[in-house]
Structure 1
């Protein structure tokens, strides 16, 4: 996992506490939550590129699959990356109001499971917290590998269902079962959850992601996104990782498959 060394140095307990403290704002103040997450993600991608490629990512093209309303666009533009956001939901694309300033990136309405880009057309392909929201997450992963150039970088990060955040706004009630948790949320709040189990939220395991990534032959590293470095070894513990990893990052190099 030499490619993760630079980022591993930043993966401190202080960082973990800082990020986790922002989660309570995801629904009430999404700009605050996603802004903090965007800055941290841009740093992670920059460190992973430096660690695997040995140079700076500035000037490269990054495709953000499931980029939503574009909270990440400004953070990545500030690193010098050419940002392209992909989002299938028109309402989600405009959820944050006006687009970021000109020059912060471009946006395409499309599905991550059928990306409208040519083979080997981008340098970096990122998907942050999207795989658990699509019915065929590994088709999304295959598409990410397809559009990324040999020698590029694919980073697929997703929320593990059995982790504490697997139920998203439904909280820990997802341990009662996804559909039951959705019904309880609806009764309590008077409307269904945004991330509704079976339609916009699915039970995705750490084991499934690791199995897919290994079978591609392109896997470079896998680690829990929000954990301090000393806790990364939990990723290698079957069973335990389903409850402890929370968010799994899969780092792949497409040139290993071609």
Structure 2
């Protein structure tokens, strides 16, 4: 059984500024960007539960930057990705990796202590199917951590931003004309519009049942004092940037 922690994660303005700078290097220096994000993720997740000896499944884990951060925290790390190329991004595919769909996780019920996903939900056509699958494979007492880039935030279109504000398809066409090739994140194929409102509704529906407890719900990269913005429907979509949902399975 995992040991829950009672001290909430406290996001500072300095952290927000640092991560914003790192996001600018996702395309030109992915190692720098993903290493910084992985270290921050391990610190945040470790504030909710003790990761020592925990079996952790990273849904959409990619090439392995998160593996190093979570194993350093003491977790046994498993990764799932639908793209073999992503899994081999660092040259080899490490042990404990699985190729499969996040919308149909190839794991039995109650299989892992922690089910984690960072910036993946916006890349699947049925995001809340994937979220329910993450709850399913988590053991009672275990933690589910879901974080995703919101569509109307400044980074919602990924490399096509800020033109995604004029429509995802239009932003995709503009990127192809400008760069001579399609973006990595192709709207309608590997990038979808997922809103803050949809995440809030899903999380509260889960918490209203008997299956899970809502541990945290808020803007992941914003300072802690900005949480009030989630109560303002239009504002929250523009300034949240990334929403995090943390659940504990009963």
Normalising TM by the smaller chain, what interval?
over 0.9
Kept in 1, the 8 Å contact 2:114–2:144? The answer is yes
Tell me whether 1:88 sits opposite 2:82 in the alignment. yes
Tell me whether 1:68 sits opposite 2:62 in the alignment. yes
Question: Cα deviations across residues 141-170 of structure 1 (Å, max 9, x unaligned)?
Answer: 000000001111001000000000000001
Kept in 2, the 8 Å contact 1:166–1:246? The answer is yes
Partner of 2:218: 223
Alignment counterpart, residue 248 of structure 1, candidates 218, 221, 243: 243
Kept in 2, the 8 Å contact 1:3–1:221? The answer is no
| Alpha-carbon distance in 2 for matches of 1:151, 1:60 | 12
Deviation at 1:24, TM superposition (A): 1.4
Kept in 1, the 8 Å contact 2:87–2:93? The answer is no
Partner of 1:144: 134
| Alpha-carbon distance in 2 for matches of 1:36, 1:125 | 20
Which SS does the other structure have where 2:233 is aligned? Answer: coil
Partner of 1:18: 18
Unpaired runs of at least 5, structure 1: 50-55
Deviation at 1:82, TM superposition (A): 0.6
Kept in 2, the 8 Å contact 1:3–1:220? The answer is no
Tell me whether 1:200 sits opposite 2:200 in the alignment. no
| Alpha-carbon distance in 1 for matches of 2:244, 2:8 | 15
After superposition, the CA RMSD in angstroms is: 1.5
| Alpha-carbon distance in 2 for matches of 1:34, 1:238 | 30
Aligned length: 242
| Alpha-carbon distance in 2 for matches of 1:137, 1:191 | 27
Higher helix share: 1
TM-score, normalised to structure 2's length?
Answer: 0.93
Partner of 1:59: 53
Compared with structure 1, are the counterparts of its residues 131 and 4 closer, same or farther at alpha carbon in structure 2 (3 Å cutoff)?
farther
Partner of 1:132: 122
Q: Runs of 4+ in structure 1 displaced over 3 angstroms?
A: 2-6
